Amino acid sequence: MVDAATRQRIDKWLFFARIVKTRSLAQKLVRDGKVRLNGSRLVRPSVEVGDGDRLVVSLERRDVHLIVRAPGMRRGPFTEAQALYEDVSPPPQAREALTAFEQAQRVPGSGRPTKKERRDLSKLRGD
């Protein structure tokens, strides 16, 4: 059985590991069901995590997969926070790289017409 000294509340751990900026944001993340502990969704920020637990945290733009390595003692520098977990997140999907020409293309009819499009409309109307 895991010793109580090696376990810590999930909201404190997320804050100490620098996954979120504040402890209240960590509590909100847990209450909203965006944190999974060993595959099960959490709704109480008082649940304790320990060494070897697997966390999946759904952040705004990505999902972070972490393995807890140690409880935190304080919110220290980033290097200290990195020692609290092992990041096993899958690599982000590669975005299609658009060329500069493709980025500059405008879909006809979207937004304000260009000068050329206005001239073509004027010709069509007989102005």
* pTM score, whole prediction: 0.70
Name the residue ranges covered by the structural domains of the chain.
Answer: 4-87
Q: What is the mean pLDDT of the chain?
A: 88
CATH of domain 4-87: 3.10.290.10
Got the DSSP string for the chain?
Answer: ---GGG-EEHHHHHHHTTSSSSHHHHHHHHHTT-EEETTEE---TT-EE-TT-EEEEE-SS-EEEEEE----SS---HHHHHTTEEE-PPPPPPPPPPPHHHHH---TTSSSPPHHHHHHHHHHHT-
| Chain segment 31-88, per-residue pLDDT in tens | 999 999 999 999 999 999 999 999 999 998 889 999 999 999 999 999 999 999 999 9
- Residue 114's pLDDT band (boundaries 50, 70, 90)? confident
